[in-house]
A and B are shown apart, each in its own frame.
Chain A
């Protein structure tokens, strides 16, 4: 462990290193990680701010059930960070409230 990286060194051989962009800032991640794992490893546990009371939320159940780790990914809101793998250049934004309606696909 060095600096802010919460990855357990020596625990695993990870996939190739890549960079995702979180709120405009590049963050190191490894191929195969979920967005949540990458954010937690980077010491960034706040993933969204709630709509009603503006409260911070993040990774809680880790299995896609609690719906609290919602982030906006490449302009699509309400993406579960714990269920979504990282990709080179993925743009992640801490979600504010309900997010924007997003791009119509």
Chain B
């Protein structure tokens, strides 16, 4: 009879991206034994392929003009990042350089105005900019058609690769284990409760399982019969050689946009496309980005493009994440669908999931992030249950083989 490696942990986190690592960091900090299972390496997917923005007021604010749960989630993350680097001893290059959100059409201007007023009422520091003020605020940006916008000093940029590194290192120092290069094959959930995870390298007994599998969240959800509305949304980016800092702030309002890293490279992007799981960069996009960014950032003229990449965002229909502890199976937690703002939500997600699992005082409200919001009036938790493999038999075999 084959012996299967069997270990145990309090929580298994599936996915070693920024969400999984942030969750591991916070859970381990709350005294839980955590194992992160990741089939590639830490932060190798969308977490490492994004523009690296942490924006409190941005395009997304236009959809939520009265700052609500999404704002709070971002605020919690931004506050966490402010001290994370020092806590762990990793430079995450978090810079609250401030952000300009501009409009080039009357419609958009009106939307920005609405959001600006809502945020101001809520006490968020935002200032209104007329067209000349936009240009003065960000001299690197040029537009004949800009009508006005908002400046938010809380907006900033970060190195998302180092953010993942910091969370992973911090989590490990707190006792979390990372099992890399290993895929999850099955989640045992007999009797309506998760009990173990089977991987390509053995099984792990656990009380909780967190789905933090990014663009592959639906695949993991299906393992326990949960249908998740998360699909990959490709984002392409091109990058220039490093030059002295000339873009002061984060600039939002047109795609492609440009932001400058601390090293001096300029990140130009990004697209939002339905390309399945294809992570290739296309010639059309490269040409569109080059042609599209130069009018807005004329000083980019003369620079060379040295790199490009694409990532797969985990997109939900309303661009908001699904963060919830399931009823069925018990012990199964969702931390998926962070859409375009994974970096903005990672810290807060880590805290919220820890509150849900470790039972701490709720600093953030999970109500807005329930899966049921997609299910319609019936309020059912599962949109469409998918029959999962019979787990009981295999699980008892496993237990027999355990030392």
Chain A residues within 8 Å of B, Cβ to Cβ: 51, 76-78, 97-105
Contact = CB atoms under 8 A, between A and B. Distances in A.
Interface string B266-288: 00000000000000000000000
B242 A101 contact: no
Interface in B283-310: 298-299, 301-302, 304
Contacts of A76: 302
Contacts of A105: 301-302
B264 interface: yes
Interface in B211-247: 241-244, 246
Contacts of A104: 298-299, 301-302
A98 B244 contact: yes
A101 B299 contact: yes
Interface of B: 241-244, 246, 264, 298-299, 301-302, 304
By secondary structure, the B interface counts as: loop
A101 B244 contact: yes
A98 B264 contact: yes
A64 to B, nearest CB: 13
Contact of B241 (A78, A97, A100, A103): A78
Given A51-B264, A102-B302, A104-B299, 6 more contacts: A51-B242, A97-B244, A101-B246, A103-B302, A104-B302, A105-B301
B273 to A, nearest CB: 31
10 contacts: A51-B242, A76-B302, A78-B304, A98-B243, A98-B244, A98-B264, A101-B246, A102-B302, A104-B298, A105-B302
A98 B262 CA distance: 13
Contacts of B302: 76, 101-105
A100 B244 contact: yes
A20 to B, nearest CB: 21
A104 to B, nearest CB: 5
Nearest to A103: B302
A98 B261 CA distance: 14
A51 B244 CA distance: 10
A73 B316 CA distance: 50
Contacts of B246: 101
Contacts of A98: 242-244, 264
A67 to B, nearest CB: 9
Contacts of B242: 51, 98
A105 B303 CA distance: 11
A99 B244 CA distance: 7
Contacts of A99: 243-244
B243 A101 contact: yes
A78 to B, nearest CB: 6
